[in-house]
Amino acid sequence: MQAEFTPAHKKWLDVWTIMAECVEKALRASGYGFDAPPHYTGRSIIWSVSKDGKAQKVAVRTCRDGWFAFAKRPDGEWKTLSEVDLVAVAATDRKQNPRHVEIFLFPAKEVGKRLDQNVEARKAAGHKVDAAKGIWIGLERKGADSPTSAGSGLAEIHPAIGDYTIMKLPEESYSDNSNNEPAAASRFEELGSVGEVLQAARERIAVLANVPSDAVRLDLSIASR
């Protein structure tokens, strides 16, 4: 069932904030209480919640392209993920001008296993993997033969706990500000060479086209000035 959601903080509203508020609303509707008023500062959020007398910590992630990420610390543990029990993901129906948000709740240990699967699959395929820059998995499993989609598909096992139609918001609230969330483009900005960018592009195209990454051919031409 979809529910209409009108955020309260319209003066400083952005898409990221709307999605985080939707997560709070879905958690409360699912029976979770908050040990303290949830905050929306920063882009890495951990909330302390409780349900049926059990205290837990939940990390909040947002995505507008169906993918979310965690990075590894130098000690090999997944940053943030190793500190929480649950991962809540807010996903919009589209990247530009979203009007619809679904909220998913996953066990943190299961998310960690899926990320490990992705890393191992990419290494086995000969890809250069730098988990410190973030490993991305999809809510749905697309491009089953592509190493980059390994570990994806959590939303196919864990149904959404919240489904919201966002209403009554000014159009400027939907401006696409890359500083507001780790959108797909930011993944390319973190890469250190042209070769890495091309490889990442091939992998992403393979997922969208549902073909193996080695079936994607890209030609690069740089004009001299």
- 188-216 residue pLDDT tens: 555 556 776 777 776 667 555 555 556 67
What is the pLDDT, as a whole number, of residue 166?
74
Residue ranges per structural domain of the chain:
3-215
**DSSP per residue over 7-65, as a string?**
-S-GGG--HHHHHHHHHHHHHHHTT-EESSPPP--SS-EEEEEEETTEEEEEEEEEESS
pLDDT at 168 over 60: no
> Which range is least confidently modeled, 61-65, 102-106, 153-157, 207-211?
207-211
Q: Is the dihedral of CA 175, 180, 182, 185 positive or negative?
A: positive
Q: Where are the alpha helices (DSSP H) in 94-222?
A: 108-124, 184-189, 194-209
17 confidence band (pLDDT: 50, 70, 90): confident
Gap between the terminal Cα atoms of the chain: 56
Answering whether pTM is above 0.75, one says no
Among 100-114, 146-160, 207-221, which is the least confidently predicted range? 207-221
Q: pLDDT tens-digit profile of 56-88?
A: 999 999 888 899 999 999 898 999 998 999 999
Indicate the length of the chain as a whole number. Answer: 225
